[in-house]
Amino acid sequence: MTTLPPKQTRFDFLPDNFQVQLNRFVTEQITRSWVLTLWLILLTVFTLNVIVNRLQAAPVSTIVVLVVWLVTVALVAVNELRHKHNALSLWLKNNMYNNLTNVQISVLIVLGLIAAVIGFYRYAWVNASFVSVPAADYRAELASVTSDEYCFTMGGVDTAVSPTTIINDPTSRCFPTADLTTDLSGVAVGQAAASFCFDSRPSDPENGITCFASTAENPNFFTVEREFTGANWGAVEANLTTLMIFRFNRNETWRIWAVIILLGVLLVPTMFVYRDSYKNKRGRRLMTILWLASPILIYLFLRGVDPVPFEVDGPGSVISGIWNEMFAWTSPLQELTDAGLITVVNGRPFLRGDGGILSPISFWARLRATFTGNQDLLGIVGLVLFGSLTWLINRRYPPREREGELAIFGRAVLRFLLIVTAVLAIFAVFDVLSMIIGSFSYTRELIVNGQPTAVTQPIFSSIDPDVNWGGFLLTVIITIFAIVVSFPIGLVLALGRRSQVRGIPAWLTYGVALVIAIWGFTQSTPDLIAAARNDIELVLAYWPILVLVLAYAFQRAFNGNVVAAFSTLYIEFVRGVPLITVLFGAKILFPILLPPRTEILDSWRILWAFALFSAAYLAENVRGGLQAIPKGQYEAADSLGFSAYQKYRLIILPQALRVVIPAIVGQFIGLFKDTSLVAIVGLFDVLGVANAIAAQEDWLGVRREPYIFLAVLYFIGSAVMTSYSRYLEKRTGLGER
Amino acid sequence: MSDIPNPPLRRGNERIPPWRDGRIIGVLLQIVFVVLFVLSLSWIFTNIGNNLDALGEGQFSCKEGGSSYRCAFDFLSIDAQFPIGESVISYDPNTDSFWRAIGIGVLNTAKVAVYGIILTTILGTITGIARLSSNWLVSNIAKWYIDLMRNTPLLLQLFFLYFVIFLVSLPSVNAVEPLLGLPIYVSQRGANYPSLVPMASFATWFAFIVLGLVQAQLLWVILGRREEQTGQTSNRALWAIVSFFVVVVIGWFIAGNNSNTEAALVSRASRIREFGDIAALVERNLGISDVGDIEAALANGTLTQEAVEEAAVSVCAINESASEINLTAQLGAANVPFTITRSDRPDQAIATYAEGGCDIFVADRATLAAERDLLENSADQLIVPLPETPVRLSVPRLEGFNFVGGGRLTLEFSAILLGLVLYTGAFVAEIVRAGILSVSKGQTEAARALGLSETQRLRLIVMPQALRVIIPPLTSQYLNLTKNSSLAAAVLFPDLYRTINTIINQSGRAIQPIIIMALIYLSISLLISFFLNWYNQKIALVER
């Protein structure tokens, strides 16, 4: 017969060595070192302080948190003693209650988070105002006055229609007379310039203190002044369109929608067609062509073309015409307007026609204008000439495997001439295309001299980017342009920096440098020494030495390789200056560096500044990827007879770019955020528009809510790009081998 | 086998004709590229010349008249004539040149960069380690902070910080409360905090500090040798620190007592012969025995406020001089009521004193002697010595609408510093995290197996390996911080970019200031890059 062990105490779920475990716990967690004990004491005092504070400030939530905390701590402690955790207590033990310090820090953090969340909830929802009428335009009409309350019908005023008509849906709001905070004993309501305030805070958290003030002109309509205790989301709602597209012509927003639809239509098959590289070859080719053609359409939608590309009255000679058209970038619109062919209404050009005002010029007149004495004509003529010559010669003397050197040279020359004239002919094609595109027009209504008039406007009529591109539209345009343009440039720069081509031979470099130095020493230095006014100019007079030093450095560092030298210097220079300097320089220096009276639109300058800036950073990232490829890959490709283009396109770049996808996408996210800098150089991206909104009379000083909205917008954009990066990494198998 | 009919006869080693030899064409193309580059440069310079001719001759006017390209930078010697919000060195718009303004811009940028780098490193390290904490809440809060900072633009954060938080939420100067009970006042005028002001005896004390450091180092080395020889711990850290402090304290008293620079100019009639007599003077005037009783006397009505103000000692001092801070600190510590008249220059102060505007004129002995001799009744004037200590604590007080004394952080500087540190700290946190994670877990396990404590494990095993991975991207973040400091223009802090902008507007020349700005930023970046490369080479792992 076995005797059962004596009945345990009621703590029989605790193990036998409970005392030992407790001692060990105390020694390890509390008394291990006096520093630890001191720290725990201070922390406990602080925690108790905070708890007492929060109990006074927000008793309900604090008690809930405390109860949950104590229960979970007890649960974890008991399970720890039993050596039997369930999932919850195990997670808690490992993540929040690791040691005594963490136990208290956890509860402190939770209390802090609850306080922050409650505060933010009150600010952003409970006390927030969603009225999208600016405070100055919020009007009220006194509907009735009784002994108990004053009732108003409130709404907004469309000042464009009339300064007094309340057009929004009038909501009725009544204030108890008891809440009146001004003394109206001597004032008759409705009397001119009456003003009174109600403390509506308890019953009207949206409006807080509401004061009404009428004016002598409109004694029955009161301007409402509101005090916002919470967020003014109405400001964001009212200005949403402005934030998105700023000054874009509201009549032509269909262009933006067209671009969005175009991109959507192209994106959907892209997700499927590019997935597997071993099938769908024709589909991929089609999609690639469509994507390459899409910038043209997007350009037409967002920028448009001038209806008549070049001047109508041709210049005297073809050659001067060629020269003028190639290197004169003045706006042809001014000349057309001077010639009386275009009229400008509200800043937009419209064609005057043969048949009268505001109708399109006939197709043939414009075609003639396009081809009057400029490089279009030369291009087309040359293309036809050399093209037919090439075809004839190739028919008569087809290329053979062994030919004389003269024949090879002749074919090369012919090919060169063909390419040159083809390039010129491209201008012609562009001109004709833009002229044709300008022929498609539609009729819409414009206000001309105060009268609504029907005008015919080309569908892709030109828009002035400096004025019309703004807000989030500008941000997206800059980002996409910079990403798309900087990628090939950066690639070329990275490849150029690592290029091993044979450089200029040393004898040539030193010879030229020596010649320049000797010329300088004999011709220039004596004059400069004589004219030197201070020590610095004296030193600068010996500039030929600098030429020799530069030649030596060039040979030594780059082995005469001009490509590598140029790429390296460009990258290091652009990476060394801040972006704001580059933008500033682009804005101010561009007009000085180009011939007088040339105009480049501000928007183009900034776009190219971003693209060139980003290209340098991209080049460094790609260079890192190229360095990560083992040399064996290059050697294997060379041994298999790949040409340079094939080697890079098929072997090297796929591996290199895959490795640096995170860095490249990080760079693009940085670019997306850096578009905000154009606010400092005077363009209005979404941040600039937010600042402009806060400067308006209606929304004076309202910055917080637009900034919060912008933060959310940028956050979403960055999150989208980051998730795309992760998708790319997974698809290309980054890190799997 | 081969199916080429009649393979053509070839001479061996046929030379490729030069006109289609790829190598020669490559070199020729490079030469053509260089020539085109030089031509386009000259075209650009021609355009610059034409455009500037259109702007007029003023662009390159020389100091001595005439105009030529050599005088491109002469205009920078003209007086600047525009104010700069804050500067590390003195600046007078009416007499200082544009060069000095540029120098101030550079110094301001450097100030932001230096403080920013130090604070970013601290914040980034703490956040990175928090991100690796085993506490889920701490780790996630760090993650949210990092994500928020990295996904919103820096300019947006700066605007938010400056326009929404600083300018709106900070109390006005009159309504500001001391922070946490300390005399730190954060208001719309900036943050005023107590600062230490060195007195004339600081140099002597500094010598003692250096001496203390040297002997602490000697003690450290000697005790270290003894540790190695005998194998017993010698608590050398404690000895070194204690001895350092002993030397410093001795030096404090010696420097303070042996210094004879601070003095006050009083009339013989005031019967002040030393510092203690000032309190005695007030006590005599008020009829009480101890200036400490003034508070109690005011409370129970024995004295009126007007009587106290009447009896208060009036002091003349030079604005923001060390002597003023010395005396006011001592008078404040001694509870002596006083009023103070500040002048900008010694001759103004002595004029006030001569008119009887104040009882005491405090300055350093040399100034006092020089000014006393200019007085008519100089025989009646005494110079009494004042005690001093090597440094004095200068506490900000509200007088009128401004804070006097103490150090001041302007709102703009705080905004740009805080914005930059918060933003770059997030990136540094990710770098630190990646660095610490890059040390393989086996290292930690081995350290624990060998019985190393946590501190030893971190200091000796993890950090050296982690630092190798951390330092290169960290330095590029420092570079980013320096370049992002140019955004200070958005919060109206006068850094280099903003100063150059103002110079362009004021002087009408665009090219020269932009060239200077680009060169300065380039030099700073290249400097930091060189340091990075040198450090990288030094700690690089030597591979097989």
What is the average pLDDT across A456-479?
Answer: 85
Cross-chain CB nearest to A562 (options B30, B137, B156): B30
How many of the other CB atoms lie within 10 Å of CB of B396? 21
pLDDT over threshold 50, residue A319: no
Of A465, A516, A294, A704, which is closest to residue B164 (Cα–Cα)? A704
A98 — pLDDT class (breaks 50, 70, 90): confident
pLDDT at A27 over 80: yes
Mutate to test the interface with B, among A72, A95, A689 (most CBs of B within 10 A): A95
Chain B CB contacts of A574 under 8 Å are none
Higher model confidence: residue A138 or residue B230? B230
- Yes or no: say if A387 and A395 are a contact pair by the CB < 8 Å rule: no
Sign of the C-alpha dihedral computed for residues B507, B510, B516 and B521 taken in this order: positive
- For residues A34-61, average pLDDT: 91
pLDDT value, residue B245: 93
Sort strands A195-199 and A171-176 into parallel, antiparallel or unpaired: unpaired
Q: A633 falls in which pLDDT band (50, 70, 90)? A: very high
Tokens of A195: 């003003």
Q: Is the pLDDT of residue A142 over 60?
A: yes
Chosen from B44, B152, B503 to mutate, greatest number of chain A CBs within 10 A:
B152
pLDDT-derived band of residue A184, with 50, 70 and 90 as boundaries?
low
For position A538, what pLDDT does the model report?
A: 85
DSSP string spanning B143-205? HHHHHHHHHS-HHHHHHIIIIIIIHHHSPPGGG--EETTEEEEEETTEEEE-EEEE-TTHHHH
Name the A residues in 384-423 with CB < 8 Å from any B CB. 401-402, 405, 408-409, 412
Rounded mean pLDDT of chain B?
Answer: 84
What is the structure's pLDDT at A363? 55
CB atoms within 10 A of CB A18: 12
Chosen for mutation from B24, B42, B51, B496 (greatest number of chain A CBs closer than 10 Å) is B51
Q: Indicate if the pLDDT at residue A178 is higher than 90.
A: no
What are A606-609's contacts with CB under 8 Å, separation 24+? A606/A478, A606/A678, A606/A681, A606/A683, A607/A477, A607/A478, A607/A481, A607/A482, A607/A485, A608/A485, A609/A582, A609/A583, A609/A585
Of A563, A595, A711, the CB nearest to B152: A711
Among A102, A584, A593, beta carbon nearest to B47:
A593
Q: What is the pLDDT of residue A358?
A: 39
Nearest to A415 by CA among A449, A387, A373: A387
The confidence score (pLDDT) of residue B3 equals 61
From first CA to last CA, the distance across chain B in angstroms is: 48
Predicted local distance difference test score (pLDDT) of residue A510: 94
- Nearest CA distance, B231 vs chain A (angstrom): 24
Is 90 exceeded by the pLDDT of residue A437?
no
- The tokens for A508 are 């040539």
Residue B442 · residue B141 · CB < 8 Å: no
Work out whether strand B313-318 and strand B338-343 pair parallel, antiparallel, or are unpaired: parallel
A532 to chain B: closest CA residue? B70
- pLDDT tens sequence across A394-425: 898 888 888 888 888 888 889 998 998 888 78
3-state secondary structure of B338: strand
Residue range A274-280: mean pLDDT, rounded: 74
Q: Is the pTM of this model over 0.90?
A: no
CA distance A65 to chain B (A): 15
Tally the residues of chain A: 737
pLDDT > 90? residue B152: yes
User: What is the rounded end-to-end Cα distance, in angstroms, of chain A?
Assistant: 67
What is the predicted ipTM? Answer: 0.81
Cβ <8 Å between B136 and A95 = yes
Per residue in B241-276, pLDDT (tens digit) is 999 999 999 998 888 888 778 888 887 777 778 788
Substitution target in B4, B27, B496, B529 with the highest count of A β-carbons within 10 Å is B27
Q: Does A575 touch chain B (CB under 8 A)?
A: yes
Q: What percent of chain A has pLDDT over 90?
A: 31
More confident residue, A361 or B67: B67
Q: Which element (helix H / strand E) includes A179? A: none
Q: How far apart are CA A424 and CA A414, in angstroms?
A: 16
Separation CA B383–CA B274 (nearest Å)? 10
Instruction: Mark out the alpha helices in B334-487 (DSSP H runs).
Output: 346-354, 365-374, 411-438, 441-449, 454-456, 463-484
Query: Confidence band (pLDDT; 50, 70, 90) for A366?
Result: low
Q: Is the pLDDT of residue A91 over 80?
A: yes
Q: According to the model, what pLDDT value does residue B145 have?
A: 95
* Strand residues in A434-512 grouped as ranges (E): 441-448, 451-458
Report the residue from B20, B34, B160 with minimal CB separation from A408: B20
Backbone angles phi, psi at A154, to 5 degrees: -115, 155
Quickly list DSSP for B470-495.
Answer: HHHHHHHHHHHHHHHGGGGGGGT---
Highest mean pLDDT among A333-342, A366-375, B106-115, B190-199: B106-115
pLDDT of residue A331: 42
pLDDT, tens digit (0-9, with 9 covering 90-100), for B125-144: 999 989 988 889 999 999 99
Nearest-neighbour CA in chain A from B311: distance (Å)? 46
pLDDT at A187 over 70: no
In the prediction, which pLDDT does A426 show? Answer: 81
Does B159 sit within 8 Å of A691, measured CB to CB?
Answer: yes
Is the CB of residue A725 less than 8 Å from the CB of residue A735?
no
Average pLDDT, chain A: 80
